[in-house]
Structure 1
Amino acid sequence: MTDPTRVLVVGGGNVGMTAALRLQKHLGRELRGGAVEITVVAPDPYMTYQPFLAEAAAGSVQPRHVVVPLRRVLSRCRVLSGRVTSVDHPGRTARVATLATAETGEPPLQVAYDQLVLVPGSVSRVLPVPGLAEYGIGFTSVEEAIGLRNHVLEQLDIAASTRDAAVREAALTFVFVGGGYAGVEALSELEDMARYATRYYTGVRPEDMRWVLVEASDRILPEVGERLGEYAVRRLRERGIDVRLETRLSSCTDRVAQLSDGARYPTRTLVWTAGVRPNPVLAATGLPRGDHGRLLCTADLRVKGEDAVWSAGDAAAVPDLTAAEPGALCAPNAQHAVRQARVLADNLAASLRGAPLRDYRHRYAGSVASLGLHKGIAYVYGHRLKGYPAWLMHRAYHLGKLPTAGRKAHVLAEWTLAGLFKREVVALGSLEHPRAEFELATRSGRGPDGD
């Protein structure tokens, strides 16, 4: 009996899950017969649908419905919760730090492979801004989305209860750094939520809050084009949001956001969404990378010079065969990433069977973005939409792309019920410290009789 072909998928995000799911479908007979084994290594045992993070933060979608459990959908794959820390490609092994490694001190696993799919995604691009590590809040995971929602509502609680004017001002000032999708959509959704929530907080009015968007370039949302980007800035400013273009965060020490234009904002909320960079594991592979740290790939999604290594999405610099200018690369966005994942899986399965491979080609269709409840912008196949129609298109597009029929049904039901009932604005900050009450009880409940 011959040994099985071992396929290792590094990354369980949208690209990794899509590629593994498609491989599982293509190679069903080989998986059942033991001729192929697929292992997926991911830091979390679920995939997060990033475009719905802002709605999860605002309470429009339940957080559990924007994540997909990998072990359920990848039932024929082995799923390992952990992080690949290095790859020895000549030796065809990857070093994996698992949860057991962190909890018990066990040595990392050595996972052998014959075919490697490197799709670890990206991480936040954090700059050396004084105070950022101490006070900044990220927005790349569902945990951060839940935490930010709780944090914003807690600031309203602080503002409604404090007697200190300086504390109140800082609590009601919310600074977001980064004018891409993540920053604009998170700010827009949370501003809508907080504006609605103020009706339940005595002494706090919508106009008491200050929302600031800081962007280093001369426009926001560059993917939707200059005209729609300018429209988005106008609409945000009409809502009282302070949009500062061509401005950078200089420091945020002592809970004061100091901007490059001289403005200073005492704030208890600083959200950092200023871009992403390739996952650091790529540097520990010894594989060829481009100027921006992404793996250099051919149009069939193999890493240059390697027949057994594949990549797509944020990790890959893939030639754009539809571009007019030679040497152009596909933009590292979700639209390209998921389509690349499908072609990658098709080609990997074809290579195992000795069939011909196909090149990745996709002409960019456009972009959609939410500016809060019932507000949005869209640029689709050269057509521009604004306001409610664009918001509907944003929801329809992402609902269609959300994995699994069950999650689509749950999210659609939540949106429908949200139109019939009042918005939920409760903060569950205790979720982040579930043992706090028990620890308090153990400290304060020790009497002379042990009660």
Structure 2
Amino acid sequence: MSRPRVLIVGGGFAGYQTARTLARLTRQKADITPLNPTDHFLCLPLLPQVASGVLEPRRVTVSLPGTLPRVRLVLGEADADGIDLEARTVRYTDPEGESGILGYDRLVLAVGSVNKLLPVPGVAENAHGFRGLPEALYPRDHVTRQVELAASADDPKSCAARCTFVVVGAGYTGTEVAAQGQLFTDALVRKQPLREGMRPRWLLLDIAPRVPPELDEKLSRTADRVLRQRGVDVRTKTSVKEATAGGVLLSDGEFVDSRTLVWCVGVRPDPPPPFGRGDPHLASLVESIGQPLERGRLIVDPFLQVPGHPEVFACGDAAAVPDLDKPGQFTGMTAQHAWRQGKVAARNVAASLGICSRRAYRHRDLGFVVDLGGVKAAANPLGVSLSGPLAGAVTRAYHLAVMPGNRVRVAADWLLDAVLPRQGVQLGLVRSWSVPLDTASPELARVPGARRSPGRDTQQPPQRAPEQSAASEGES
């Protein structure tokens, strides 16, 4: 008899951990196939360090074929209406636009999340998110360019606008982006001084009364103090009313001249149709299968199975998993939940194949960490509040622990950053129109007819003949 087929849609924290754990449990008693648009796992918590020049991009990516030797990777994204629960098939599109169909005996949905958009005029056209590698590489070039242009500007107003960077959302990502960004730009202006009396200015905005709002009050005060001492302008109970190419209008009526707006207000589950094909307002992947949802997330039982379809599992940001310690609530959309749910999903898939016993998902909070750059951090491992260099050491140890590869390279980059000046140079690898805020798929910008956001540069997408397909363009 043929081996059972396990199809895993997604290769993020949940999908990667499912594939790795399942390969270990089944010991080649099942055919395991991850379906993912890239050939790597991306460590999202380290993206702010890529954007600020601490880590090189490849350090935060881990090869799927290289670290999952007993699985068969298929490059592609499931079509928004491509799951047929009756036929047990998934239709997908590969990065070059070719279609395919994969059959399964067990299906694991781990499609992750994308930037959360709010109905704020101008944000979709003028802001950039922070959910992928291109979205981290682009601001590194963009910020470097703004500082270089400001250093040669004759107009003081233009110089100040180019060196004003606005970050909206003071959660973990936004706080780290602002903290790391201030260090990065300060390092840049030491080599290219601005006009006398000027220095880069970072604004961190959030409607919450403190930052980051997820931390306890003690650690929030620590993070707030470090940010302000570093020169970050922290604005609580403040949001963006409108965004333009020349700046942002705040909710308190102030207009801030700026060429840079980074959007870190949160995430929403499940990406839109892959590679920009079709109407982006069509049902998303988990919506299209017609099962009950909770705010866009697929409702599952404590064993991560979809009710009525025991062969279908879901985990990570795409799944609304009951919180057994808080009846009536669901687990949060965090990497910590996704990583552990992936392990439980793998075990329960293996249990459904008769290999082991199944287990309900129950979360034990290990605490959270916020890297503030340099030796500064805020952390509460196992509920113990830490700050300063000790918190910095714990934070980096935690990041290394969750990395399934590249640990030596990441540690080496940290060491080099501590003893050598950062390199401030534009690489020109990513253009603003290839990282639109309203999608997690940068390929959207390369599809003929898809909306492109010019962003805050004058860079425009290259023109091409109408018959040229999206697949014919290489990575920018």
Q: Same fold (TM over 0.5)?
A: yes
Give how far 1:335 is off. 1.5
Give how far 1:172 is off. 0.6
1:98 counterpart = 2:86? no
Which structure's CA Rg is the greater one?
1
Query: What's the counterpart of residue 153 of structure 1?
Result: 144
Give how far 1:259 is off. 1.0
Query: What's the counterpart of residue 163 of structure 1?
Result: 154
- Superposed, which structure 2 residues align to 1:233-272 within 5 Å? 233-272=224-263
**Cα distance 1:362–1:206, how it changes in 2: closer, same or farther (>3 A)?**
farther
Give how far 1:184 is off. 0.7
Give how far 1:333 is off. 1.3
8 Å CA contact retained: 1:195, 1:206: no
1:176 counterpart = 2:151? no
Q: Distance between the aligned counterparts of 1:352 and 1:19, measured in 2?
A: 15
Query: What's the counterpart of residue 338 of structure 1?
Result: 339
8 Å CA contact retained: 1:151, 1:429: no
Query: What's the counterpart of residue 11 of structure 2?
Result: 12
**Cα distance 1:431–1:366, how it changes in 2: closer, same or farther (>3 A)?**
closer
- Superposed, which structure 2 residues align to 1:32-51 within 5 Å? 36-51=30-45
Residue among 40, 47, 66 paired with 1:53: 47
Alpha-carbon displacement from aligned partner over 1:105-151 (angstroms, at most 9, x marks no partner): x4x32222121100000011012322222221111112211111111
- Superposed, which structure 2 residues align to 1:50-449 within 5 Å? 50-85=44-79, 86=81, 87-101=83-97, 106=98, 108-204=99-195, 207-279=198-270, 280-290=284-294, 292-321=295-324, 323=325, 325-353=326-354, 355-404=356-405, 407-429=406-428, 432=431
Give how far 1:63 is off. 1.0
Q: Distance between the aligned counterparts of 1:66 and 1:254, measured in 2?
A: 31
Q: Distance between the aligned counterparts of 1:396 and 1:174, measured in 2?
A: 30
Give how far 1:5 is off. 1.8
After the TM superposition, list the runs of 4 or more consecutive aligned residues in structure 1 that deviate by more than 4 angstroms: 204-207, 430-433
TM-score calculated relative to the size of structure 1: 0.88
Amino acid at match of 1:288: P
Query: What's the counterpart of residue 446 of structure 1?
Result: none
Amino acid at match of 1:39: T
8 Å CA contact retained: 2:170, 2:205: yes
Deviates more, 1:85-94 or 1:306-315: 85-94
Where does structure 1 lack aligned partners over 5 or more consecutive residues?
31-35, 440-451
Query: What's the counterpart of residue 441 of structure 2?
Result: none
Alpha-carbon displacement from aligned partner over 1:342-391 (angstroms, at most 9, x marks no partner): 11101111211264311122221211101121111111222111122111
- Superposed, which structure 2 residues align to 1:18-33 within 5 Å? 18-30=17-29
More helix by share: 1
Residues paired across the two proteins, number: 419
**Cα distance 1:27–1:209, how it changes in 2: closer, same or farther (>3 A)?**
same
8 Å CA contact retained: 2:347, 2:356: no
Alpha-carbon displacement from aligned partner over 1:6-38 (angstroms, at most 9, x marks no partner): 2111101121111111112222232xxxxx322
8 Å CA contact retained: 2:206, 2:235: yes
Q: Distance between the aligned counterparts of 2:32 and 2:68, measured in 1?
A: 10
Query: What's the counterpart of residue 445 of structure 1?
Result: none
Alpha-carbon displacement from aligned partner over 1:47-74 (angstroms, at most 9, x marks no partner): 1101111111122211101001212222
Q: Distance between the aligned counterparts of 1:354 and 1:157, measured in 2?
A: 60
Give how far 1:237 is off. 2.0
8 Å CA contact retained: 1:132, 1:252: yes
**Cα distance 1:254–1:53, how it changes in 2: closer, same or farther (>3 A)?**
closer
Amino acid at match of 1:316: A
8 Å CA contact retained: 1:149, 1:190: no
Give how far 1:169 is off. 2.0
Q: Distance between the aligned counterparts of 2:34 and 2:171, measured in 1?
A: 30
Give how far 1:395 is off. 0.5
8 Å CA contact retained: 1:300, 1:347: yes
Amino acid at match of 1:363: R
TM-score calculated relative to the size of structure 2: 0.84
Amino acid at match of 2:421: K
Structure possessing the higher relative contact order (Cα contacts under 8 Å, 6 or more residues apart): 2
Deviates more, 1:370-379 or 1:230-239: 230-239
CA RMSD of aligned residues (A): 2.0
